[in-house]
Structure 1
Amino acid sequence: MGRMSGTDDPDRQGGGPPTSSLARASRMLQLPLGAAQRQAVGFGRKLLGADADQVELELRTAAAEQLFAVLGELKGGAMKFGQALSMFEAVLPEEIAGPYRQHLAKLQDAAPPLPSSRVQAVLRAELGSHWRDRFESIDLRPAAAASIGQVHRGVLTGGRPVAIKVQYPGADLALRSDLRQIERLANVVAPLAGGVDVVTISRELAARIAEEVDYTLEAQHQAQAAEAFAGDAEFVVPRVHEATPRVLISDWLDGRKLTTAAESPTEVRNRVGLSYVRFLFAGPARAGLLHADPHPGNYLVLPDGRLGVVDFGLVARLPEGLPPAMGRLIQLAITSDAAAVTAGLAAEGFIAKDVDAGELLGYLEPFVEPAREDEFHFDREWMREQFRHVQGSSNRGGVGMKLTIPPVYALIHRVWMGGIAVLAQLDVTARFRDVLAEFLPGWHD
């Protein structure tokens, strides 16, 4: 199946303006009030002799359930915010992470595609009354759906196959409204997340996600990446032909979804998985951009074996590449220099509270282990084991509750964890350490 400039993520929006924005906003505005009420009740129970730890646990669980129930009602790009917040799951206690996972699973509801009449109305509004003159043909049935739009296959006048991404009418207004309200949730999340600076990180994520509704900005990012990887023997980024705020036209790519590699022979699976992780790290080094949505739906295995990369709506702009401390700190962790790692992470802003250096090094082991070996095998059982390890370190005042994520690392962290998860799903054995050595600044042989 071929497609471009959109993902067939299940997080797509419906066939018209996102509904019930006022209702969603009303429910989100109730969250701070609910938090205040819970704190008052909790204070009263403590005065009456209730166990303080038990009261705090119940308050945090109630806050999580209310928060994630509201996130579960979000659609489109705002739903991406809820998914991006999954980075906090690793540092939340299990009694909080459990409700989070439950409600996050509810964010997978699909909705009907945009009717063809509305597709044509958007094209007319964005490209002019003679929009059809640009194309020899266009299929008004969507080939794929993205978070805030859907993708159609067409052929430009002159015969070039293209993907036409059309934004859902009203998606921009609904997204901005939701994000404004979500930023107000930071004070509700903060007590659940230990030392994590939820307010600052939420603001950074909201700013990046809000950019997704401007397809001209996405086109700039995609064109920048396409130029950086033009003629590459390993990667293909489709060339952009035209963009308006709500329509993006670029080359069509024919290929198989990355997830199909899971059923390929071991050699093919390992090669494709290595290309996938190489692109994640190569983007900042070669294009000054981090493709910040590691979802496998954004990657296609082309017939010639190259990896096609689409959907540049969510990116981190890193003109100088990845932070120079990354390579140095990972190598220090490999050598088990706990004191130096702790000092380095503190200097980068990762440590919110006093932490034992030895415990911190142990907590980081899942992040470092793939870099210790020349070749590493990623599989689901390993991933589950690492998740249990991190969760165990994040309960009841553990080291995970004393760390935070600096804003510059927010999307980097998401891509790192998401990329590792995809490699585990594909059951890949790869020279991950070589990728770090090639692309991470501060890495020395």
Structure 2
Amino acid sequence: MGLISRAASLATVPVTTGARLAGAATAAAFGADRDAVYAKATAASVETLTTALAKARGPALKFGQALAVFSAALPPDQAAQLTALTRLYEDAKPQPLKTIERQLKQLPKGVDIDPEAIAAASLGQVHRGTWKDGTPVAIKVQYSDAPKVVKADMMQLRAMAPLVGRLLPTLDVKALVDEHASRLAEELDYTQEAAWQKRFRKAWKPGKAGGFADGSPGSEGIVIPKVHFATETILVTEWVDGTPFTALADEHAARRNAAGRQLARFSMWSPRLVGATHADPHPGNFRLLADDRLAVLDFGSVAKDSGLFTRLFAQTLILTTRGEYDEVLQAWREAGLVSDTTTTEQLMEMLDPDDRPYTREEFTFSKEWLQSRSQQFQDPVQALQGASRLRFPPDYLLEHRAVMGTIALLCGIDATVDFRTVIDGVGDAVPTPA
């Protein structure tokens, strides 16, 4: 989608939805059923919003996926539209090699690049190539207009903020947009991505991640490609062959379970090992190698100084297993995620945690289980009451996305995982009772 058509698509959202809500107010003033007309206007507004974000892809789609965290504040049918954005993965038609020639001139002499891209998104594309010594590499190239695309999308998203605020009144939309803009600016600098990839590679180097609850070395099963070269718009890394996560659903159980075991460890233990979380749980970013190790790609989106939400997730599961529900409330209050007026009963009703992944030696994360967990908010009134008690600071969003995205990926391949071991390895979650 071109820059002008992207802007036009997004610009129509506040205009059309604003008109709908104004029409609802007018109709209510002239005697129409207020709840009915507002419900109809809101439903149409959510549909317009989600359609525009999905069509625009790129930065706008990523913002919609961040909003999906708060979908419980909407009636189930509208929430389903918003959460559907999390199942969309960015793709685009690759640009011809001649359109990125200026960026390619930055490559060192002796580096060859295949003319056909193997993957593309709104801000860049990836080619296979050969490093100076003959090593196969992946070459990621940013489009010259990528900064303009980000700037234009952010302008339109800021214009949408008042609308989103009316649909999700408990959300600090401005703070969310600002956080989104900050993360996108970082993603445009491939030298930062390279630095994070090197840091994760060092932390997950075989033998470095010892001492886990099951006695395994832990890091032996994770592969992070070596960085060969980086500028702001070019990134060259070691090429990795493997089975994409999306294709693992058709593999035999042993392969699926190996992938799930490694992914769960990588996602949940990185805050302790790296002090950061890989925050783009796109299935294309994970490859299962022939020896059942898991390769992790694309470090453009990273949650810095992470661990608060991951530890809270582990705490909630462990304390629920023990029946220590008041301690769950205390943990959420200390994290700043619930108000002082929220009771233990209200929080547990909102969370409705399932402790089986922790109480069992192994647990199968299935699509059916995930669907059953998504039915928590069937009553729109209950959903709105729950949302009014729940706070979610924007700086938690990337880590939340990583943890919840990991669970969704595990369910997508029906992986059986020793999740108790994973949770116990998070670190500093809950001390074992004496």
Please give the TM-score of this superposition, normalised by the length of structure 2: 0.87
- Report the alpha carbon displacement of residue 146 of structure 1 after superposing the two structures with TM: 4.2
Corresponding residue for residue 424 of structure 1: 411
- Report the alpha carbon displacement of residue 400 of structure 1 after superposing the two structures with TM: 4.2
Cα offsets for 1:277-330 (capped at 9, x unmatched): 111112221122200011221011112221110000111012677665454344
Corresponding residue for residue 10 of structure 1: none
Gaps of 5+ in 1: 1-17
Corresponding residue for residue 47 of structure 1: 29
Corresponding residue for residue 74 of structure 2: 92
Cα offsets for 1:325-355 (capped at 9, x unmatched): 4543443333333333234323322226954
Amino acid at match of 2:125: Q
| 341 and 50 in structure 1: CA distance in 2 versus 1, 3 angstrom threshold | farther
Cα offsets for 1:229-259 (capped at 9, x unmatched): 2234111111111111111011111111123
- Does structure 1 residue 123 correspond to structure 2 residue 99? no
C-alpha distance in 2 between matches for 1:353 and 1:186: 27
Cα offsets for 1:58-84 (capped at 9, x unmatched): 232132123223213313343322233
Corresponding residue for residue 245 of structure 2: 258
Aligned-partner SS, 2:374: helix
C-alpha distance in 2 between matches for 1:321 and 1:396: 25
Amino acid at match of 2:53: L
C-alpha distance in 1 between matches for 2:342 and 2:309: 26
- Report the alpha carbon displacement of residue 202 of structure 1 after superposing the two structures with TM: 3.3
Corresponding residue for residue 140 of structure 1: 115
Once superposed, what is the RMSD of the aligned Cα atoms?
2.8
Contact 1:363 1:393 in 2 (8 A): no
Amino acid at match of 2:98: S
Aligned-partner SS, 1:405: coil
Contact 2:91 2:121 in 1 (8 A): no
Matched ranges for 1:51-62 at <5 A = 51-62=33-44
Larger relative contact order (CA 8 Å, sep ≥ 6): 1
Aligned-partner SS, 2:425: helix
C-alpha distance in 1 between matches for 2:221 and 2:152: 40
Matched ranges for 1:185-200 at <5 A = 185-200=160-175
Amino acid at match of 1:95: D
Amino acid at match of 1:387: S
Corresponding residue for residue 19 of structure 1: 2
Aligned-partner SS, 1:73: helix
Aligned-partner SS, 1:242: strand
| 396 and 161 in structure 1: CA distance in 2 versus 1, 3 angstrom threshold | closer
Amino acid at match of 1:179: M
- Does structure 1 residue 226 correspond to structure 2 residue 201? yes
Corresponding residue for residue 150 of structure 1: 125
- Report the alpha carbon displacement of residue 367 of structure 1 after superposing the two structures with TM: 6.0
Please give the TM-score of this superposition, normalised by the length of structure 1: 0.85
Aligned identity (percent) is 34
Corresponding residue for residue 144 of structure 2: 169
Aligned-partner SS, 1:143: strand
Amino acid at match of 2:345: G
Cα offsets for 1:13-63 (capped at 9, x unmatched): xxxxx6134x54355445445554444333332232322322331232132
C-alpha distance in 2 between matches for 1:413 and 1:82: 15
Amino acid at match of 2:146: A
Instruction: Choose 88-97 or 379-388, whichever is displaced more.
Output: 88-97
C-alpha distance in 1 between matches for 2:26 and 2:403: 43
Corresponding residue for residue 222 of structure 2: 235
- Does structure 1 residue 361 correspond to structure 2 residue 348? yes
Corresponding residue for residue 268 of structure 1: 255
Amino acid at match of 2:100: V
Gaps of 5+ in 2: 207-218
Match 1:348 to one of 315, 332, 335:
335
- Report the alpha carbon displacement of residue 426 of structure 1 after superposing the two structures with TM: 0.8
Amino acid at match of 1:260: A
Aligned-partner SS, 1:166: strand
Match 2:192 to one of 217, 222, 228:
217
Aligned-partner SS, 1:152: strand
Aligned-partner SS, 1:71: helix
- Report the alpha carbon displacement of residue 392 of structure 1 after superposing the two structures with TM: 4.5
